[in-house]
Structure formats: structure tokens, C-alpha cells
Chain A
């Protein structure tokens, strides 16, 4: 079955540092998405990527859809305390005529002021 490997699992960083996390798979996806989840809340969409090689920014966030369509990374520049949370990647694929999402296990980010 489809599997996503997300790394790192968790990271502590100092405020102002840049952050990088990635997701890899042995399967091909036609869309990659990055979500952030705050404690007690649902995932909020950060960036959606639709084409291999696509590089997209949203403020201090930048994400890329890997050329092989099997991986994606998310960078956060100049981190601030409110960046704390869990970041999930999700890949969309077509299975038996329906489109499905599979989620990574999350990267837990803690920012030290």
C-alpha cells in the first residue's frame, strides 16, 4: 500500500532559525499538500503543489514538489514562536477511480524563544 515517510519526527529550534522537513514515498503522487495542526484543532492547509518540480511560497513557507513525484519538502524561514505545531505532508493519488489522501506521521516543531 501507499506509505509516506516524514522526517524529522520532531525538532527543537531557536527562534529565527530556518526549518526544513520532507516527505518521501516509493509511490508516485499527483498532488502534494502541507498542513499544520495546532493542539486540539484540525489540520490547516499551508501549501498545495500540483506539478512535478513546482516550487511554491506562502509567506515564510516554501514547498517543492519533487521531480520524481515521490517526495516533497517544506522550508520555514526565520521561525517564530507561533510556528510551533505539527506539520503533516499529504499525498494525493488515484485508487480505483477515486482520489485519496495519505498523510505522513507528522513533524513536531518546537520553537524556543
Chain B
């Protein structure tokens, strides 16, 4: 049973470009969560999605960030017009139900030059 998959593992972008991060949840999991981790810090919640719906986006910056989890395919975290401060590790987690244990992917490390 494959775990949570994220790609790419590393992403380099220049300021102003767009970053697209993908997450495929574990088989049988329909709940996806995105977190951001800055160096030497813990993970900070960004957004919680269930198939085709955003349930909670209270941790998402109001501008430039968006997330989706379509009926078919992976969840996408999209960052438009990236800035240096967006450089971080972005982790996706999935769970089978809304209050069940979350399992994390390996993360995407975004570097903005």
C-alpha cells in the first residue's frame, strides 16, 4: 500500500514565477491537508480539502495561494508570483476520515531565487 506521494521533491523557481505542488493521498484516503514548514520550525496548517471541496483554508495566505483536490487526480497547491519568503518545505498529509490520523508525504522543498 503506497504512502502519500508528493512531487516534485525539490522545486526551484525565480521570483514572479508560478509553483505547482502535487499530492496523491494514500489509497482509500479522501481527506488531504497541506502544511508549510520553515527551517528550524514546526509544521503550520494551511488548508484542508476533501474531494472537490475546500473544508478549511484558515491557514492559507489570502493572496497568491490556492489549493484544489479534483474528483480525479492529485491535490494541487498552487503559488502564483512566488517571492523569496515562499521558500519552505510543503508537506501534504492524508487521512481516511475527517478526524482520523494524518499520514504525511515526503514533502516538496521550494526554493525561490
Contact = CB atoms under 8 A, between A and B. Distances in A.
A102 B99 CA distance: 14
Contact of A98 (B41, B56, B91): B56
A5 B3 CA distance: 29
Contacts, number: 56
A31 B42 CA distance: 18
A99 B58 CA distance: 12
B69 interface: no
B113 interface: no
Interface residues of A, number: 27
Contact of A42 (B99, B101, B105): B105
A43 B93 CA distance: 9
- Which of B43, B105, B106 has the most C-beta atoms of chain A within 10 angstroms of its own C-beta? B43
A41 B107 contact: yes
B56 A100 contact: yes
